[in-house]
Chains A and B, each alone.
Chain A
Amino acid sequence: NAGVTQTPKFQVLKTGQSMTLQCAQDMNHNSMYWYRQDPGMGLRLIYYSASEGTTDKGEVPNGYNVSRLNKREFSLRLESAAPSQTSVYFCASSDLVAFGAFFGQGTRLTVV
């Protein structure tokens, strides 16, 4: 059972480049999330999708866009990468909020 799968695991971008982080879950969960985690800090929500067809901004959405492609897949796009976006990005999914979320293994992104 794969759970939540993120690709790529590592990426180095130059300032101004764009890229899309991919996330897929096989648990038939309704809700999916993108978080970023900076050193010594907790996770901060970038965007989330409460159900297929809906997306909403989280705490730190600036510089990012998302697409909920179908129930399984939720992608995060950086249109013009900036050094401040250097971080570890986690995708997560959940069924009911009360049951907690399951996370992918993360994408370590460095913008130089």
Chain B
Amino acid sequence: RKEVEQDPGPFNVPEGATVAFNCTYSNSASQSFFWYRQDCRKEPKLLMSVYSSGNEDGRFTAQLNRASQYISLLIRDSKLSDSATYLCVVTKNGNAGKSTFGDGTTLTVKP
């Protein structure tokens, strides 16, 4: 079993739809959690950190469930520009070298 698992998709949704991605992790010692966005043939860019209390940034909401060891990303009112691959990242014990990336979930938003 991979340390960090994501549904690869692809998720194909119409503009304006709400879409949610989940990411599960296997190590209960994990401390920091992030969502990154990666456009085709580009570098990953930090989208948001994920906190125990949940956090929201505009149309994006991230949640952490430590008991079930998963994080989620909810995108409301999808835009064409949201089309990308979303990477889940889990870091253990605050150690710089212990970040594990998921393989990513691909989202395509269609007109």
Chain A residues packing against B (C-beta within 8 Å): 31, 33, 35, 40-45, 48, 50, 56, 58, 90, 94, 97-106
Instruction: Determine if B97 and A41 form an interchain contact, defined as CB atoms under 8 angstroms apart.
Output: no
Indicate whether B43 reaches chain A with its CB closer than 8 angstroms. Answer: yes
Of all chain A residues, the one with the shortest Cβ separation from B34 is: A100
Also in contact, A43 and B101, with CB within 8 A (given A97-B91, A100-B34)? yes
Of all chain A residues, the one with the shortest Cβ separation from B4 is: A42
Partner of A45, one of B46, B49, B99: B99
Instruction: Determine if B45 and A103 form an interchain contact, defined as CB atoms under 8 angstroms apart.
Output: yes
Chain B residues packing against A (C-beta within 8 Å): 4, 8, 31-32, 34, 36, 42-46, 49, 87, 89, 91, 94-97, 99-104
CB distance from B94 to the nearest CB of A (A): 5
21 examples of A-B residue contacts, CB within 8 angstroms: A31-B96, A33-B96, A33-B97, A42-B87, A42-B101, A42-B103, A43-B101, A44-B101, A48-B96, A50-B96, A97-B91, A97-B95, A98-B91, A99-B49, A100-B36, A100-B49, A101-B99, A102-B46, A103-B44, A104-B43, A105-B43
Partner of A98, one of B4, B94, B97: B94
Instruction: Determine if A48 and B103 form an interchain contact, defined as CB atoms under 8 angstroms apart.
Output: no
Interface of B is mostly: strand
Q: Total A-B pairs in contact (CB under 8 Å)?
A: 58
Tell me the bound Cα distance from A106 to B91 in angstroms.
22
Of all chain A residues, the one with the shortest Cβ separation from B103 is: A42
A-B contacts besides A35-B101, A44-B101, A98-B31, 9 pairs, CB < 8 Å: A45-B99, A50-B96, A90-B44, A97-B91, A97-B94, A98-B94, A100-B46, A101-B46, A105-B42
Tell me the bound Cα distance from A42 to B99 in angstroms.
12
Instruction: Determine if B104 and A45 form an interchain contact, defined as CB atoms under 8 angstroms apart.
Output: no
Instruction: Determine if A58 and B49 form an interchain contact, defined as CB atoms under 8 angstroms apart.
Output: no
Instruction: Determine if A43 and B94 form an interchain contact, defined as CB atoms under 8 angstroms apart.
Output: no
Q: Which residues of A contact B89 (CB under 8 A)?
A: 100
Q: Which residues of A contact B36 (CB under 8 A)?
A: 100
